[in-house]
Amino acid sequence: MNKERKLIIAGNWKMNKTVAEALTLVQDLKIEIANIMAVDIVVCPPFTALSEVAKAVRGSNIRLGAQNMSEHGPGAYTGEIAAVMLKEFGARYVILGHSERRQYQKESDELISKKARAAHAASLQPIVCVGETLAEREAGQMEKVLETQVRGSLTGLGRDQIVETIIAYEPVWAIGTGKTATTDQAQAAHAFIRGLLTKLYDETTARRVRIQYGGSVKPSNARELMSQPDVDGALVGGASLEAQSFAEIVKHSI
């Protein structure tokens, strides 16, 4: 698949996998996707498994990501993890503003923008998640919600930083539900986000930013989704917890 931007497929394991289970998964995955270099492949285990998974993927084509981080540097913030701590493990990416954190931890666009700036300061690439709920989509508010989230979550990022930021469009109604946006729906949302980036920055910059789709991505729909002109990869949830299904998504995206 000839893409203007290199595809990035990231697996968000969420609160799953013991260290032993994580190692089994990543060892199986290394075999399944060995030598695939046309796609950036990322796994995002829970914090407890980062150290061992980092060792397991070293020297492979799999990159390490984390699922969250603090907006603060090291200090008196009990229970938090700083960007420099993630870097110590060799993490290159960090997921920020996932809809579950927006919902359960009440994370705001302002907070997410602070985290994104902190990630860049530590040379981590943030994967910034945005997306509307079913009620918002049905009320015709998708574009309004996306514009608010994109503008708010990217506040303060310059051109050099935004091209090193991945945006993940995750319609909340399609996360863990088995429902997937149609290819037309996904492409329309991604094109709208790229249009916003053009307004916030410029067309050349916007064309360089990678926008992932997330929301019940599986091997059966990966190829069609990845074929859309503005869909530059996937943020995969449940299907990333099993090596073969995640590998098939990677293979189908090429």
> Is residue 72 among the annotated active site residues?
no
Distances (CA, A) of 235 to 7, 59, 122, 226: 11, 23, 22, 12
Q: Give 10's strand partners.
A: 42, 235
Residue 207 has which token pair?
A: 């064309």
Residue 77 has which token pair?
A: 């913030």
d(CA 131, CA 24): 32
- Quote the strand ranges of the chain, DSSP E: 8-12, 40-44, 62-66, 93-96, 125-130, 166-169, 210-213, 233-236
With contact defined as beta carbons under 8 Å apart, do 29 and 62 qualify?
yes
Q: What angle do CA 55, 57, 58 make, to 5 degrees?
A: 65
> Is residue 88 among the annotated active site residues?
no
Please, is 219 exposed, middle or buried when counting C-beta atoms within 10 Å of its C-beta (0-12, 13-18, 19+)? Answer: middle
**Catalytically annotated residue among 71, 100, 132, 170:** 170
**Catalytically annotated residue among 71, 98, 190, 248:** 98
Helix (H, G, I), strand (E, B) or coil at 44: strand
Residue 112 has which token pair?
A: 């997410």
Instruction: Indicate the DSSP class of residue 171.
Output: -
d(CA 137, CA 7): 27
Which residues are the active-site residues? 98, 170
